[in-house]
Structure 1
Amino acid sequence: MASLWMLFASFAFAAMGAGVKLASEFYSTSELLMYRGLIGTVVLLAAVRHRGGSFKTPFVKAHVWRSAVGVVSLWLWFFAISRLPLATAVTLNYMAPIWIAAWMFAHGWWNGTKLPEWPLVLAIAMSFLGVTLVLQPAIAGNQWLGGLAGVASSLISAAAYMQVRRLGQMGEPEYRVVFYFSLSTTLFGLAGTLAGDGPDGAVFQSHTLYSGALLLGVGIFGLLAQMAMTRAYRVGKVLVVANLQYTGIVFSSLWGLALWSDAFDWHVWLGIGVILASGIAATFYNTRSTAKGAVVKDTDPIASET
């Protein structure tokens, strides 16, 4: 089930990215971030209250850390999307699993614990090769700032993904993790908007039916993606889930075809095949060789991640 949750999350994140690209014509990065978080916060608040849930948590410090790195990463990604072609921004953001694997190797080597299985690491490397084939990113000289933001976003999001898994293994329900992240996103976006990060200074842009629909889509798809991703990292194995995240490239390519009439060359289809094959291989290897753990162990590199 973790694989299905991550596949859905990848689709929803791709839809959100397309919405952000379209909406960036009307709103600043911080304003987009604010509405992205506000919609999720309101929906979750109403749903959880209706079902009698609680937002009280014994893991305040963990939530603060997850929200901090997650919000910064999301702001950087939104900025990259607004400055770069969507395909290039998505490519840079999907470097996050590579950073996760690098972190786990470094942590395991430093502490003398078990390293990740080589087949899974190879599958992630092949997936990134597939990403390159699909998108063939090329950043022009005047797009270096957006490119730097995209790389920084992927690096920081790797820490956020591992913290999501840690919270899940600690027993924190998905809705609570996503609620505090959405609330933090709203507050951070509001602060950025008031500070005047947009071209017109501290101003809230007026809405049209079209731009409002884009904001609603960004918020809803972002919320659904966040919930699905949180569940996937809670019940699945981190490298397998991270590898399946690459299927978002396939969905992004389809959005590009539908919205911008992007043509597919042979190398694109080859890259899509590599991405899907490596995802299937990683999932197959994991189910054959590894039993999923339900509790946090001291030898788990994510368990001791601070």
Structure 2
Amino acid sequence: MLIQSFWALAAAASFSTMAAFVKFCNATFGPLELVFYRSLFTLVSIYAVVLWNGYSLKTTKIKGHLIRDSLGFASVAIWFFTLGKLPLGTNITLTYTTSLFLSANFIILSLIRKLPIPWGAIWSIVLGFTGVVTILQPSFRDGDLIPALLCLCVACLDLAIYWQVRKLGREGEPSWRIVFYFALFCTLATFFGVFLFEDGFHVPDTQSFLCLMAMGGFATLGLISATRAWVGGNMLLVSCLGFSAIPFSELISIVVFNNIPGFYTIVGMVLILIAGIAATIVTKRQEQKI
């Protein structure tokens, strides 16, 4: 179980690398167009697995899938947009504040059910959003505030997705079917969205085509690694190791994009990283009580 948990590191590295290729492609393709290619790649990959194993795609949870898919589509579309606006490390750090919103959720549930106040969750939220403010205030350039706030919106949406995926899982939906219908929804939605909200599809040159393939490949590799981690690993360890995406993405940002973070940005990232891990540990324990 311990060894399986470390697949979370491979997932974090893969998703961080995928995000870097999204940044490369942003100069050529619109955000919805990129979501289309990423979703299509995942859709084909998952469908191949379905055919190979003889799985059934029939489901009676259509409403549940539509809720999860709509939230997921909004989350990934906004995220891909912000990847073209912010340094990679800063972007990933802000989108990884979902655990802080989850802690806030459990604090509210504890108060409603008259359970002891989870002070650990409260302090992790205070520490985490101190990190957010540290990043946003002194070191941000003009025009970066709105994309940064949108990253926080993505983190909040991901919390709603978390609860919906849990609900589908408890109702017996396997993870591969949830991923398949999400990829299908995003592929169809972005296909029409590209014509309605962007200037249509672009013909990629050799370099941009290779970037698209790399984006889809790392997205699929991340999905496979994350699935192996969650299925066979320790849930708490996997959750904490997932935060390795923050240093991974910052390293890529420095080496590939030459985005050297300022002092306040580094301090804010460290605070969010510590707070995120602490919030994950606290909420995992609190979840068992509620």
**In 2, Cα distance between equivalents of 1:80 and 1:37:** 18
**In 2, Cα distance between equivalents of 1:185 and 1:136:** 34
Where 2:176 maps in the other structure, the secondary structure is helix
Match of 1:248 in 2: 245
**Normalising to structure 1: TM-score of the pair?**
0.76
Where 2:151 maps in the other structure, the secondary structure is helix
Match of 2:66 in 1: 64
Matches for 1:194-233 after TM superposition, within 5 Å: 194-197=195-198, 201=199, 203-229=200-226
| Residues 158 and 230 (structure 1), Cα distance of their counterparts in 2 relative to 1, 3 Å cut | farther
Q: CA deviation at 1:90?
A: 1.9
Please say which of residues 21-30 and 221-230 is displaced more in the overlay: 221-230
**In the alignment, residue 181 of structure 1 is paired with which amino acid?**
F
Where 2:28 maps in the other structure, the secondary structure is coil
C-alpha contact 1:36 1:219 (8 A) present in aligned 2 = yes
* CA shift digits 1:160-191 (9 cap, x unpaired): 12322333343322211111111112112212
* CA shift digits 1:77-114 (9 cap, x unpaired): 1111112222332232122221111122223322x065
C-alpha contact 2:124 2:275 (8 A) present in aligned 1 = yes
**In 2, Cα distance between equivalents of 1:115 and 1:33:** 43
Query: Gaps (5+ residues) in structure 1?
Result: 294-298, 301-306
Matches for 1:176-195 after TM superposition, within 5 Å: 176-195=177-196
Aligned residues: 288
Q: CA deviation at 1:58?
A: 3.2
**In the alignment, residue 143 of structure 2 is paired with which amino acid?**
N
Please say which of residues 79-88 and 276-285 is displaced more in the overlay: 276-285
Match of 1:303 in 2: none
| Fraction of identical pairs, as percent | 32
C-alpha contact 1:131 1:246 (8 A) present in aligned 2 = no
Quick check: 1:54 aligned with 2:53?
A: no
Quick check: 1:37 aligned with 2:43?
A: no
Q: CA deviation at 1:277?
A: 6.7
**In 1, Cα distance between equivalents of 2:117 and 2:227:** 21
**In the alignment, residue 218 of structure 1 is paired with which amino acid?**
M
**In the alignment, residue 148 of structure 1 is paired with which amino acid?**
L
C-alpha contact 1:30 1:193 (8 A) present in aligned 2 = yes
**In 2, Cα distance between equivalents of 1:229 and 1:114:** 33
Matches for 1:1-306 after TM superposition, within 5 Å: 1=1, 3-110=5-112, 112=113, 118-119=119-120, 122=123, 138-197=139-198, 201=199, 203-229=200-226, 242-263=239-260, 300=290
**In 1, Cα distance between equivalents of 2:183 and 2:62:** 15
Where 2:27 maps in the other structure, the secondary structure is coil
**In 2, Cα distance between equivalents of 1:74 and 1:223:** 15
Superposed CA RMSD: 3.8
**In the alignment, residue 185 of structure 2 is paired with which amino acid?**
S
**In 2, Cα distance between equivalents of 1:162 and 1:238:** 16
* CA shift digits 1:239-259 (9 cap, x unpaired): 775554322101101212331
**Normalising to structure 2: TM-score of the pair?**
0.80
C-alpha contact 1:178 1:227 (8 A) present in aligned 2 = no
| Residues 166 and 113 (structure 1), Cα distance of their counterparts in 2 relative to 1, 3 Å cut | farther
Please say which of residues 160-169 and 181-190 is displaced more in the overlay: 160-169
Q: Which has the higher contact order (CA 8 A, sep 6+)?
A: 2
C-alpha contact 1:91 1:135 (8 A) present in aligned 2 = no
Query: Gaps (5+ residues) in structure 2?
Result: none
**In the alignment, residue 81 of structure 1 is paired with which amino acid?**
L
